[in-house]
Amino acid sequence: MTTSVTTQLLDAAAQGLEIFDLGRTLTVGMPQSPNHPAYWHAMPRRHGDMTRGDGGSAANDMISMGTHVGTHVDALAHVSQDGKLYGDVDAYDAQVGGKFVEHGAHTIEPMVRRGVLLDVPGTLGVGRLEPGQEITVDDLKATLEKQGTEIREGDVVLVRSGWGQHFDNGDGDTYRGLSTGVPGVSDSGATFLADFGIHATGADTIAYEQLKPGAGHGLLPAHRVLLVERGIYIIEAMDLEKLAAGLAGSSYEFLFVMSPLKFFGATGSPVRPLAVVGA
């Protein structure tokens, strides 16, 4: 059986695959949540600083950043509610020593799973959603029906709002939405998706939330539902525009591939998710 499945995978790769890169390029000054240390890149050694006897030289880099900057996945240690993490783990005790042994990013297994895209603007007939607009349960149901999409247990569900266009256009202030708000699911939408038994869910916004105008990032009810109550991973700041265009009129399903960095005890990890379909 193992040989047969492996042969099928190799045959599929040989026949040709189309890969959609869902990760954002990390650049100094890119839009991010103000709650996290910014991305910074420097070159402590440049070509010519040290030249070998044969004329060769090497350059190298160093980076610093928060683990929730750029496209990233939230570990279950990221959010607590009333002092508890997922599984009724005491949040204070779990962080003693400066790392989360039980729910840290190193515990997130690589994901090779069925993925589905919910293109909400496509269903509503708009290019992108409005600032602070809630993606309601009715919106999610309508999208599933219009696309003919089925959510199965263990899936990774990606929710497109179109808000990633502001990232693409370099409009970082609007993308952050600290004053204008950001569209997204609320606790009811998160509960609706969680009830399918999904493994993870992601969005093209800076936070997987409906951020109301002027409210900033002070309240995160969808995080509470997904991370604390259900143990479902969250992926944020994804690039979903090309994927939505590529899947338009199809089944909106794909092979989702993602592997977090094994930062021991961390609350999240930068990621570069991929959506793979037949060419």
The residue behind tokens 């609350």 is: 267
DSSP structure string for 131-157: TT-EE-HHHHHHHHHHHT----TT-EE
Q: Which pLDDT belongs to residue 215?
A: 74
pLDDT confidence bin for 52, thresholds 50/70/90: very high
Q: Which pLDDT belongs to residue 213?
A: 87
Gyration radius of the chain over CA positions: 20
∠ CA 81-186-136, rounded to 5°: 155
The residue behind tokens 């496509």 is: 122
Q: Give the mean model confidence (pLDDT) for residues 103-117.
A: 98
- Token output for 140: 């999610």
Q: Above 60 in pLDDT, residue 36?
A: yes
Judge contact between 216 and 128, C-beta under 8 A: no
Distance, in Å, from the CA atom of 85 to the CA atom of 77, rounded to the nearest integer, reads 6
Distances (CA, A) of 32 to 171, 173, 221: 12, 9, 20
- Token output for 45: 């050694």
- Report which secondary-structure segment, H or E, holds 168: helix 164-168
Per-residue pLDDT tens for 140-198? Answer: 999 999 999 999 999 999 999 999 999 999 999 999 998 889 999 999 999 999 999 99
Q: Give the mean model confidence (pLDDT) for residues 22-49.
A: 95
Q: Which pLDDT belongs to residue 3?
A: 74
Burial (0-12, 13-18, 19+ Cβ within 10 Å), 229 = middle
Distance, in Å, from the CA atom of 21 to the CA atom of 138, rounded to the nearest integer, reads 29
Mean pLDDT across the chain: 95
When comparing pLDDT for 216 and 233, which is higher?
233
Q: What letter does residue 279 receive in the DSSP assignment?
A: -
Distance, in Å, from the CA atom of 201 to the CA atom of 37, rounded to the nearest integer, reads 24
Q: Which pLDDT belongs to residue 115?
A: 98
pTM recorded for the entire structure: 0.95
Distance, in Å, from the CA atom of 173 to the CA atom of 30, rounded to the nearest integer, reads 10
Distance, in Å, from the CA atom of 91 to the CA atom of 83, rounded to the nearest integer, reads 5
Q: Above 60 in pLDDT, residue 1?
A: no
Q: Could you give the domains of the chain?
A: 5-25+67-278 (3.50.30.50)
Q: Give the mean model confidence (pLDDT) for residues 187-212.
A: 97
φ, ψ dihedrals at 83, nearest 5°:
80, 10
Q: Which pLDDT belongs to residue 269?
A: 98
Judge contact between 196 and 151, C-beta under 8 A: yes
Q: Above 80 in pLDDT, residue 218?
A: no
